[in-house]
Amino acid sequence: MADSNINPWQTDTIVAVSTPPGRGGIGIVRLSGPQSVFIARHLLRIVAPLDHAHAHFARVLDPDDATKAATIDDAIVTAFLAPQSYTGEDLVEIAAHGSPVVLDVILQQALALGARLANAGEFTQRAFHSGKLDLTQAEAVHDLIAAQTLDQARVAAQQLGGAMSRRVAPAKDSLLHLIALLEAGMDFASGELDDVDVVAPKQIAAEIEETRAPLQQLADSFRHGQLMRSGAALALVGRPNAGKSSIFNRLLDRNRAIVTPIPGTTRDTVEESLALGGIPIRLIDTAGLRMEGDAAADEAERLGIARSHEALADADLVLVIHDATVALSDEERRLAATLEGRPHLLVYNKIDLAAEALDHDALATSALTGQGIDALRAAILQQLQAGGALADAGALNNLRQRQAISATLHALEAAREANAVGLPHEIILMDLHAALRSLDSLTGATTPDDILGLIFSTFCIGK
């Protein structure tokens, strides 16, 4: 009778093309599982035995030649034997020429020899289940592949190297120490050993705070980590002909948006990507917002203005662009007032044409001459950083991680309150164990299988 506790990845072998679709100099087919070496030896002609971590020259056999004399390609095959592999299982990588036809032949032959097609992210999921990676490291694999900037890649590499686990470890040790103290104290108390003191409320409070403080710092890192991982949306809004498109082009260092002296030239949102300080930014130029007294917009412009309001609502940072040659209108002041509490910058453009000197605190620019553009870039970066370093090692960078830490902090707060009002240690321990479970879910020790499936489904096939 089969053992129902054996996971599928302990018994079957998976295969996938691990390189991107299309043609290239090299294409890699990857196998993982107990039959990996057997399958590789039957679809390739290999002279030497497949020993661990050594590359061998091989020829890809023609599947239509029953004599196995004909070949269709040369390849390099490398075996990584369990447990010293990425997945913790026997793993074989076949590097052939990057012809889709050749790679498909290798893939189909592997399937015919007993492998099955890997699911999205299944190689990394097997690495997780084999203890090669914790869940934050597995998520970092996805982030590293998706990185658009060098700083994003650096942060993902830090996470892949275990930065999050190392950051959480001291707090977990403190929590485990407190749980052990309380449970030992309860054992002594139940044994009626009157000469042994149970843990004092003051000590419990201090231990809870020792656990809570670094986790709160970690929770506070979420905005920075999420911006570094997902980037920021930056919308340029203001009156028609204030120079939004010109500023947009200056920030990009190229002419992307159409610029004319005619107010209302931009009828729709225009988006482009750039990086500032390693942060990927989605820059959004919007249709000019008509103010009271402005000429009525036509239907196309009204639709563009509606999209401008949508971009304004969704942006992580808003640049309100004002024409420095005219007075700041009441409507513009009201627009700025609606942004109070949200990251935004008031930018005075066309200072090369301004008749009077601006206040020295104003963020003054000239899209025509480039004056103030470097200062604007620095101000944008400062607003996004909001006083913190975006590339901190071990920063929270997705909602799942944030929820795990928030649940841990909530349980610790419940334990603190229970201790403060003198509730029995059994009640405090219930909250502390809840905190431990939530903290373990961060790295995957107690994460349900359905959540794991959702996480790994976002990976590409072959990784």
Task: Please say whether the beta carbons of 120 and 456 come within 8 A.
Answer: yes
Per-residue pLDDT at 209 exceeds 80: yes
Look over the chain and give the mean of its residue pLDDT values, rounded to a whole number.
Answer: 83
Task: Say what the alpha-carbon torsion angle 50, 54, 57, 61 is, to the nearest 10 degrees.
Answer: 40
Q: What is the pLDDT of residue 4?
A: 43
Task: Please say whether the beta carbons of 232 and 251 come within 8 A.
Answer: no
pLDDT of 137-183, one tens digit each? 999 998 888 888 888 888 888 888 999 989 999 999 999 999 988 88
Is the pTM higher than 0.85?
A: no
Q: What is the pLDDT of residue 268?
A: 57
Angle at 128 between CA 108 and CA 393, to 5 degrees: 125
pLDDT of 304-327, one tens digit each? 566 666 767 778 888 888 888 888
Cβ-count burial 170-184 (b if 16+ within 10 Å, e if not): ebbebbeebbebbbe
Per-residue pLDDT at 35 exceeds 80: yes
pLDDT of 424-442, one tens digit each? 999 999 999 999 999 999 9
Look at residues 317, 222, 322, 309 and name the one whose alpha carbon lies nearest to residue 276: 317
- Tell me what percent of the residues of the chain surpass a pLDDT of 90: 41
Mean pLDDT of 25-42: 95
Mean pLDDT of 361-373: 84
- Which of 253-257, 291-295, 453-457 is predicted with the least confidence, judged by mean pLDDT? 291-295
Which of 122 and 387 is assigned the larger pLDDT? 122
Task: Please say whether the beta carbons of 277 and 390 come within 8 A.
Answer: yes
Q: What is the pLDDT of residue 303?
A: 59
Q: What is the pLDDT of residue 125?
A: 92
Our measurement of the distance from residue 393's CA atom to the centroid of its chain's CA atoms, rounded to an integer in Å, reads 13
Query: Phi then psi for 330, rounded to 5 degrees?
Result: -60, -35
In sequence order, what are the residues at sequence separation of 6 or more whose Cβ sits closer than 8 angstroms to the Cβ of residue 329? Answer: 239, 291, 292
Mean pLDDT of 95-117: 95
Q: What is the pLDDT of residue 188?
A: 59
- For 447: left if phi > 0, alpha if psi spans -120 to 50, otherwise beta; the answer is beta
Task: Please say whether the beta carbons of 77 and 95 come within 8 A.
Answer: yes
Other beta carbons within 10 Å of 40 = 27
Per-residue pLDDT at 41 exceeds 80: yes
- For 58: left if phi > 0, alpha if psi spans -120 to 50, otherwise beta; the answer is beta
- Beta bridge partner(s), residue 234: 283, 317
Per-residue pLDDT at 75 exceeds 90: yes
Q: What is the pLDDT of residue 340?
A: 81
Q: What is the pLDDT of residue 389?
A: 43
Q: What is the pLDDT of residue 187?
A: 60
Per-residue pLDDT at 383 exceeds 80: yes
- Assign 388 a pLDDT band (cuts: 50, 70, 90): very low
Q: What is the pLDDT of residue 14?
A: 96
- Assign 194 a pLDDT band (cuts: 50, 70, 90): very low
Helices (H) and strands (E) in the chain, counts: 15, 13
Q: What is the pLDDT of residue 195?
A: 45
Task: Please say whether the beta carbons of 246 and 369 come within 8 A.
Answer: no
Per-residue pLDDT at 1 exceeds 70: no
Angle at 333 between CA 374 and CA 250, to 5 degrees: 25
**Unique residue bearing structure tokens 């909001």:** 386
Look at residues 169, 147, 398, 171 and name the one whose alpha carbon lies nearest to residue 278: 147
Mean pLDDT of 272-289: 82
Burial of 53 (0-12, 13-18, 19+ CB in 10 A): exposed
Per-residue pLDDT at 391 exceeds 70: no
Per-residue pLDDT at 260 exceeds 70: no
Q: How far apart are CA 163 and CA 156, in angstroms?
A: 9
Per-residue pLDDT at 106 exceeds 70: yes
Q: What is the pLDDT of residue 28?
A: 96
